[in-house]
Each structure stands twice: as C-alpha cells, then as structure tokens.
A and B are shown apart, each in its own frame.
Chain A
Amino acid sequence: QKEVEQNSGPLSVPEGAIASLNCTYSDRGSQSFFWYRQYSGKSPELIMSIYSNGDKEDGRFTAQLNKASQYVSLLIRDSQPSDSATYLCAVNGFNKFYFGSGTKLNVKP
C-alpha cells in the first residue's frame, strides 16, 4: 500500500505570513508530485507540480522536493484569507495517483 502522509491541521497563520505545508511518501519509485487546493464542497484544483529535486516557484507558491528524504512541501508566501482551504498532496507513479488526507489551512485576517 503506497502511503502519502500529511498533517491534518488545522494550520492557522495570520494574513501576510508564510504557510508551510508538508508531505511524506512511502514509494521511492514515485515520479511526480502535486499540490492541490480544495475548497469545501468543491473539486481539487492544481496549485503546483514538481518532479525534480529542489525548489520550484510560481508566484506566491514554492514547492520543494527532496527525493532522498521522500519529502515534498509547499510554501505559501503573503498568505491571504482566500488561501484558506484544504491542501492535498498527490504522488504519481506509473499513471496512478495517491493522495494524502489533506492539511486544512486557516488564514486569519
């Protein structure tokens, strides 16, 4: 059973702060990694994807991947109340995707 682990939270940060979300995975053969945002009652939407070790930045979002430690993270800079949602980590290997249970983020105005 391939496992993807996330802290369920909730993670509370003040507006303007940096939110740090973490994810670990069990399958060393995993090829690519995704962060999805899911608002309550809605479907997941892609925030970031990454497949090489290191950092990848897109606007206020930075994904970090460390394959040796089997660890992927998402940093959200200048957090806004509209970032309040559940963030799902997903891991891909051989066309299958495995999701973590999600971290709920609350950004307080």
Chain B
Amino acid sequence: NAGVTQTPKFQVLKTGQSMTLQCAQDMNHNSMYWYRQDPGMGLRLIYYSASEGTTDKGEVPNGYNVSRLNKREFSLRLESAAPSQTSVYFCASRPFGDRITEQYFGPGTRLTVT
C-alpha cells in the first residue's frame, strides 16, 4: 500500500516550458487536492477534486490546470511555467463524506523555474 505517490520528485524548468505533475493514490479515496508551499508559508490550495469527474478552483488556480483522470489519479499541468511558480507542490487525498477525516499527503515535488 503506497499511499499517495507523486512524480517527479524534483524538476527544473525554463520560463515558458510546460510540464505535468502526476499524483496517484491507492486508498480508494474520493477527494484529491493540489497545494503549493512557498518558503516559510503554509499550504495554499491550487485545485481540488471532490470526486471522480469533478474539479474546482482553490485559492491560487491561475497558471494551472488539472485533470482527474480516474479515481486514483489527479494531475496538475503548468502550461507556461513562470519563476513565480517555483515552489514545492503537494498532492493529497481524503475519503469523502466525513467532516473529520484527515488528508493524506504525498512526498512532494520540488519545482524550480529559471
């Protein structure tokens, strides 16, 4: 049982390049989330998917797109990377329906845009 996995672990992009961050969970969770964490700051929600087939914007969606490919996988795409998107990106999943259930986090992807 791997939990939440993310690929890649590290990535360096040049300004204007595109890439997709991959996230998968094997816990049969309904909800999945993408966050970014900048130095000295908490996590900010980029997008989330309450269930398969649905996605919604979070606090900082500009410059990102997401795809809930199936129940297991939730990808985050940067179409034209900018230095302001340099950050650590965390994916999380959560069972749906119980208000007190926690989120389970992946190990993170460290992205640098030069």
Q: What is the interface of chain A, defined by CB distance below 8 A to chain B?
A: 1, 4, 6, 8, 31-32, 34, 42-46, 49, 51, 88, 90, 92, 95-102
Please tell me the size bucket of the interface on B: 20 to 34
Query: At the interface, yes or no: B41 with Cβ under 8 Å from chain A?
Result: yes
Nearest CB on A from B64, distance (A): 16
Please count the residue pairs between chain A and chain B whose beta carbons lie under 8 angstroms apart in the complex.
Answer: 53
Main secondary structure, interface of A, reads: strand
Is A8 touching B42 in the complex (CB atoms < 8 A)? Answer: no
B97 and chain A: residue at smallest CB distance: A95
B86 to chain A, nearest CB (A): 16
| CB-contacts of B81-102 with A (<8 A) | 90, 96, 99-100, 102
B23 at the interface (CB under 8 A from A): no
CB-nearest residue of chain B relative to A52?
B100
A selection of 6 A-B contacts at a CB cut-off of 8 Å is A42-B108, A49-B100, A92-B99, A95-B50, A99-B35, A100-B42
